[in-house]
Chains A and B, each alone.
Chain A
């Protein structure tokens, strides 16, 4: 049946900013959807507020609206564009929820917009717990006993009926936000209360706990002819109880017999048919390990994180096929793009094992609650492909970049056995390593099974790996052992550790013994049909299928898993680099391991190697492909970290040289460089001994910025205001390592400005300068950035340009360079130089229209900017004001402090653009999920150093008609100036106190600042968490507060009396 010709224009809704539970996977699916629809001749209108995505490139859709994803703005877009149809199922939960609201509010009907893919009823049946349960009962599919509650009392009543343990699942929240497992009444009451407040419909499901069951997922697809198939099934290594986003997952299932496989397959197909979905759907099931009993846990009537994974795991492009189905095609009409010969109507056959491992943010949030449960906490994921489970798992471990390339963590070696046992019982983010360590201590598979309920199949495999470790250890430089080790996926790094030799020694031994991998193709059909997909993974077997062409090739290294500090922005740059390389006529080869991304879509590059990004794995590809060189500047720190090793092994690095990178990153060399160029920087010194620190800080003068040298994303960086605070800091960072001294810099409070420049070493262009709203001290990734700058003079801009030019020339930059400045009294201080693609590349590219990664890649490959028509300078500023607003996932991460500082904490970003700064900020803030109220209350509780500054803020809120609340000190201070303020009691006092005030809903904003010293569980911490828990923005920086105030001011009209025009002399 041919495509739907009744429609011409289709609106696609994206998923907005990246948050935990909704990451790059929706950029991948959205991009595929848009391309797939355009391919069919439809006009595609895209709405997404996330500028870091590929899908918001103007080449992906016909028209892109980077407007807030709210009903208000979507209605405006619909009114303007008059689309015939809306495709709601590719933008994650955000897109789906929005489409539902648009349909319910009658907007779609009013403008004659048809919903494609799933009907509103279908979506509701799947999403609304009660309707879902009713449907399951109707079609005879079992669901765990449960009750829908709207109050805590109802939850307790149900618990009295069926007993504990129970699971609480709030309705309509992302990634299970606010849910959790409860073993007693207290826990049930707390979690339910929290869940009800987070659920937009104040609804929670209380469910029988089936923890310990096997958790199995099926990705299914159905077309309008009721043809339905399974693309992939996946088995969670962690049984039911841990969110699937936080579980280690394997595909296909490993421990299910054909009968079990088809029992669950039949159930999944029955469900998608009952829901009448035309497109993709994800069904999560729980299977009793001791019988054929199973339960349906959840259904997502849309493309999901799991479907992105399934697409990469099988090669079957689910989003692409789902979009074609949405416009009327049937599965038997769509060609399987992998084979090009067969049809989309088939279930992929895998001849390899896939592992998915979650990437957690606890390297940044080491004080956060690390236990795993029904609330997803991972920010990203990696995938490993191997011809056995061990290889797939260990590739996944290597890809995580968590400081180890094996199932071994140094920190666990000293851990007591009973601590390990405890950590096995209550899983945390390091579970897989704890399991390995437990085996090293002689624990048995049975013991671990009792503690973890992980299937013995997986435990046996890990146990074997640990036993094999001993064999490696005692057989130094044995060819047989290394061969076997490599078949198991063991990294050179592990062999090196066990042998007590260097990485290079193992590598050389291996090369000499010719123990190197071959590459196999991911072809959806287990080699049954001939395929030409350029999608490969390595393994240690006989036949290599990756045929090397005779074209000139460039290898681009991707950025690995999404984590705090290294997000989707780097995938954006990577993809653009690949496209530029293709444009230049080279063969573009990419290596990456993140299944969520566009860069790992095999149709983007000429060749995709889905591999870990370690020196070992990159060398294997380099040795096979012999590229002209390797580009490392787009893959974030992941790729940059590989540069030194690659150069050491004789690989040609393209772009800015390693020596230059080092000059920018090494503190001493960097200082020399700036001195040489006569550029200003905040005074500072590196100290190698603790006792020197206080003296140095005194000399420089407080406040100072302290941090260890060679830091990434601002980790362990703090601003300290006194000797005492400095001492606190030093105590926490246990000992100073002479290799990596502590850096103490003058903390300058000026305007922070950021520049991304492109240079070929001779010409340097600045597409745009961005000014940060927050003063220096807040990590650039967490600050709001404004383009074009609003507060700096032309002279300052010229100074920035000249500095960028000098530095680029001195470093012989080829490609991108990011420079951060502090502007103080028209002076320009250099804070940081990163000779690589930065987080702001996609934002800047989109608002200036300069395709920065593309041009930079051309520079890397030898094109001169002059030849492209550029000369050194700042490109003309655009008329519109654009802002980048950071987005955080604090509500998902319990016990993580929300205070902003030099350490980055945001997970994503939203954009706002309009004619004025206030309008742009308004849109950006709305897009980031902050509500801008016209009236209400504000709670102020600030540190002494900020009191003077907060006075004006308080006055302005008062004038706008906001009710002010403040804690004792702040209230007293404001009282002096006759500002009306209600004093609230401190934490722990009888109610109403500060926490109950937040809880009561009287305040719309909390403004809280703190002195340094990071006291855990301080009152301030509790206040900040209380705000997050109740969805109230907590502003920890006064500049942020002022910006929001300006926005409120510009959108509110306050009643003002006429004032006399007389001069008041005080």
Chain B
């Protein structure tokens, strides 16, 4: 494998061996502390444009299989690992990580001190970075990175272009795709929901025309403020059907109600983030993957209230509306990867849709 380098906006650089694609690619560099689940992370649309550093040193051990994708096309811009496995071992393994990344033109770099890199990101915050060949000078790349503007159309890039249906016999859910993970669809199908996935810019009118029992606002990449059309849509559908938001969807609900979001210095990315439910006084371990967060004090007077906070930094992890059947979480109850401990939120959502339906029946009959 050829020597390649990873250069960060702050001038830090690491030399390692390239794997995957031989392209040079830049993006936002982040780290993820999950010890398993690299396939899910690579294919998670929320990670659009990111160069992901895996803090666990051995990556690729169980190869890539046909089952564990979170989307059809991976959107990441690079993968940084300590060691990439050349001979994966697992009964489901179809190909090696190297092979997979090559096929999808994603560069990877291995053999670097990922712990040092993680500490750099922790101290200096998330920043821009590039995986490239050794022939380029560091100064050159650093100035290129500094001048580079990160895209703000990630949602457009990852969302479906046309609506599609995943049929079921249960509650009819409109899933607004900001870069939906298969995990969310899997949880809804498991509960026999009838799913209509619509593009991120689908209008409120069109959504309501589908007569949904519930609206699901999905995860997705980037800054929620980059999706104003969705904020508008949410305002219009608010109160018309139970809403469940996850990740970006959660942030959009906040923005739609007049609350604010901000970027975290270092995001929450990993499979072991404790979240405390304020009302139940119970803590859950969650799978998280976000760089932005809802500002706690901005919730005052919006009709929204916090339901869950991060145990470690008190950041907002869950909210609900005081009047409407609307709730959302910052983390990933659908897991994949990560703990499935908050999976019950999907049950709660289905329950909410059922209740709302019978309430409507009562109203109609009255």
Seen from chain A, the residues whose Cβ lies within 8 Å of a Cβ on chain B are: 225-227, 229, 252-259, 261-262, 265-266, 269, 289-291, 330-332, 341-343, 345-353, 387-389, 455-457, 460, 520, 525-530, 541-543
**7 A-B contacts, Cβ less than 8 Å apart?**
A256-B90, A258-B34, A258-B68, A289-B91, A341-B312, A528-B55, A542-B112
Say which residue of B112, B114, B272, B339 sits within 8 Å of A351 (CB atoms). B114
B115 close to chain A: CB less than 8 A: yes
**How many residues in B have their beta carbons less than 8 Å from beta carbons of A?**
56
Q: Is A225's CB under 8 angstroms from B282's CB?
A: yes
Cβ-closest 4 pairs across A and B: A258-B37, A543-B116, A526-B55, A457-B89
Beta-carbon contact of A526 and B56 below 8 Å:
yes
B348 proximal to A (CB < 8 A) = no
Pairwise interchain contact A353-B57, C-beta atoms closer than 8 A: yes
Residues A388 and B62 in contact, CB atoms below 8 Å apart: no
Chain A residue nearest in CB terms to B276: A332
Q: Is the CB of A345 within 8 A of B35?
A: no
Q: Would A252 and B35 count as touching, CB distance under 8 A?
A: yes
Min C-beta distance of B209 to chain A, whole Å: 38
Looking at chain B's contact residues, the main secondary structure is loop
Contacts of B112 in A (CB 8 A): 542
CB-CB nearest in chain A for B37: A258
Question: Which B74-97 residues have C-beta < 8 A from chain A?
Answer: 82-83, 85, 87-92
Tell me, in angstroms, the Cα distance from A441 to B289 when the chains sit together. Answer: 48
Among B36, B87, B115, the one with the most A-chain Cβ atoms within 10 Å of its Cβ is B115
B211 within 8 A of A: no
Is the CB of B271 closer than 8 A to any CB of chain A? Answer: yes
Complex contacts, A353 vs chain B, CB 8 Å: 57-58
Residues of B within 8 A of A257 (CB): 36-37, 39, 62, 65, 68, 90, 92
Q: Which residues of B contact A350 (CB under 8 A)?
A: 35, 56
* A residues near B55, Cβ cutoff 8 Å: 349, 351, 526-528
For the complex, give the distance between the alpha carbons of A281 and B37 in Å. Answer: 25
Beta-carbon contact of B272 and A348 below 8 Å: yes
Chain A residues with CB under 8 A of B83? 387-388
> How long is the Cα–Cα vector from A543 to B34 in the complex, in angstroms?
22
Q: Given contacts A254-B58, A341-B312, are A347 and B82 in contact (CB under 8 A)?
A: no
Which residues of the other chain, B, contact A225 by a CB distance below 8 angstroms?
A: 281-282
Inter-subunit contact A227/B282 (CB<8 Å): yes
Query: A253 to chain B: which residues have CB within 8 Å?
Result: 36
CB of B200, distance to nearest CB on chain A (Å): 27
Structural contact, B33 and A526, CB atoms closer than 8 A: yes
The residue from A226, A227, A527 contacting B115, defined by CB atoms under 8 A apart: A527
B336 touching A332 by the CB < 8 A rule? no
- Among A229, A261, A388, A456, contact of B36 (Cβ-Cβ < 8 Å): A261
**A677: shortest Cβ distance to chain B, in Å?**
56
In angstroms, how far is the closest chain A Cβ from the Cβ of B61? 5
Measured between beta carbons, the chain A residues less than 8 angstroms from B340 are 262, 266
CB-CB < 8 A to A227: which residues of B? 282-284
- Given A225-B281, A225-B282, answer yes or no on A352-B57 (Cβ-Cβ < 8 Å): yes
Bound: A894/B19 CA distance, A: 51
Question: Within the complex, what minimum Cβ distance (angstroms) separates A656 from chain B?
Answer: 41
CB of B311 within 8 A of chain A?
yes
User: Is B360 in contact with chain A by the CB < 8 A criterion?
Assistant: no
Judged by a CB distance under 8 angstroms, whether B232 is at the interface is no
Highest count of chain B CB atoms <10 Å: which of A257, A457, A529? A257
> B258: CB under 8 A from chain A?
no
* Alpha-carbon distance between A261 and B68 when the two chains are bound, in angstroms: 13
Output the nearest chain A residue to B114 by Cβ-Cβ distance.
A351
A347–B285 Cα gap in the complex (Å)? 8
B9 close to chain A: CB less than 8 A: no
Partner of A345, one of B33, B115, B283: B283
> Within the assembled complex, what's the spacing in Å between the Cα atoms of A33 and B335?
34
User: A541 and B283 in contact (CB under 8 A), knowing A289-B91, A342-B312?
Assistant: no
Asked if B36 contacts A258 (CB within 8 A), the reply is: yes
Q: Which of A225, A349, A520, A528 has the most CB of B within 10 A?
A: A528
Interface pair A387/B116, CB less than 8 Å apart:
no
Contact A542 B113, CB 8 Å, known A257-B68, A349-B270: yes
Are B270 and A528 neighbours in the complex by a CB distance under 8 Å?
yes
B35 adjacent to A290 (CB under 8 Å): no
**CA A262 to CA B336, docked complex, whole Å:** 9
B57 contacts A527, CB within 8 Å? no
Contacts of A289 in B (CB 8 A): 91
C-alpha spacing A75/B36, complex, angstroms: 49
Task: Note all chain A residues with C-beta closer than 8 A to B39.
Answer: 257-258
Q: A225-B281, A349-B35, A353-B58 are in contact. List 6 more A-B contacts (CB 8 A).
A: A258-B36, A261-B35, A332-B311, A388-B58, A528-B270, A542-B14
Chain B residues with CB under 8 Å of A258's CB are 34, 36-37, 39-40, 68, 336-338
A330 to B312, CA, bound (A): 15
Please give, as numbers and ranges, the residues of chain A lying within 8 Å of B115 by CB-CB distance: 351, 387, 520, 526-527, 541, 543
B273 near A: Cβ within 8 Å? Answer: yes
Interfacial chain B residues near A332, Cβ < 8 Å = 274, 276, 283, 311
| Pairwise interchain contact A457-B337, C-beta atoms closer than 8 A | no
Contact B122 A351 (CB under 8 A): no
**Residue on A nearest B40 in the bound complex, by CB:** A258
**A255–B61 touching, CB < 8 Å:** yes
A525 to B271 Cα, complex, angstroms: 11
Bound Cα distance A258, B119 (Å): 25
- Is B116 touching A542 in the complex (CB atoms < 8 A)? yes
A347 CB contact (under 8 Å) in B91, B92, B119, B272: B272
Are A525 and B33 in contact, CB atoms less than 8 angstroms apart?
yes
| B37–A460 touching, CB < 8 Å | no
Indicate whether A343 sits within 8 Å of B311 (C-beta atoms), given known contacts A254-B61, A388-B83, A542-B113. Answer: yes
- Complex CA distance for A622 and B117, rounded to whole angstroms: 27
Cross-chain contact A291 with B91 (CB below 8 angstroms):
yes
Complex Cα distance, B70 from A258, in Å, reads 13
Name the residue of chain B whose CB is nearest to the CB of A388.
Answer: B83
Nearest-Cβ distance from residue A102 to partner chain B, whole angstroms: 34
B57 near A528 with CB under 8 A, answer no
The CA of A456 and the CA of B89, in the complex, are separated in Å by 6
Contact check, A527 vs B37: say whether CB atoms are below 8 A apart.
no
Q: Note all chain A residues with C-beta closer than 8 A to B338.
A: 258, 262
Shortest C-beta distance, B337 to chain A (Å), equals: 4
B119 touches A527 (CB 8 A): yes
Chain B residues contacting A542 (CB-CB under 8 Å) are 14, 112-113, 116
Docked CA distance A388–B58 (Å): 7
Question: Contact: B57 with A351, CB < 8 Å?
Answer: yes
Smallest CB separation, A155 vs chain B (Å): 34
- The answer to whether B285 touches A346, judged by C-beta atoms less than 8 angstroms apart, is yes
- The smallest beta-carbon distance between B228 and chain A, in angstroms, is 33
Residue contact A345 to B285, C-beta cutoff 8 Å: yes
The reply to whether B33 and A349 form a contact with Cβ atoms under 8 Å apart is: yes
Residues on B with beta carbons closer than 8 Å to the beta carbon of A526: 33, 55-56, 115, 118, 270
With the chains together, A603 CA to B85 CA distance in Å? 36
Q: Which of A255, A289, A388 has the most CB of B within 10 A?
A: A255
A229 partner residues in chain B, CB cutoff 8 A = 285
Q: What is the chain A residue whose CB lies nearest that of B67?
A: A259
* Contact of A457 with B113 in the complex, beta carbons under 8 Å: no
Interface members, chain B 4-56 (any A CB < 8 Å): 14, 31, 33-37, 39-40, 55-56
Bound: A269/B284 CA distance, A: 13
Contact: A255 with B90, CB < 8 Å? yes
Would you give the shortest CB distance from B258 to chain A, in whole angstroms? 31
Q: When chains A and B are docked, how far (Å) is the Cα of A348 from the Cα of B338?
A: 13
Chain B residue numbers with a CB within 8 Å of A525 are 33
Contacting residues, chain A, for B118 (C-beta < 8 A): 351, 526-528
- Name the residue of chain B whose CB is nearest to the CB of A387: B57
List residues of B (329-344) whose CB comes within 8 Å of A's CBs: 335-341
User: Quick one: CB contact mask for B271-295 with A, threshold 8 Å, 1 for yes?
Assistant: 1111010000111110000000000
A351 to B33, CA, bound (A): 8
Bound complex: CA of A252 vs CA of B57, how far in Å? 11
B83 to chain A: closest CB distance in Å? 5
> Pick the contact of B283 from A259, A266, A331 — CB < 8 Å?
A331
B39 to chain A, nearest CB (A): 7
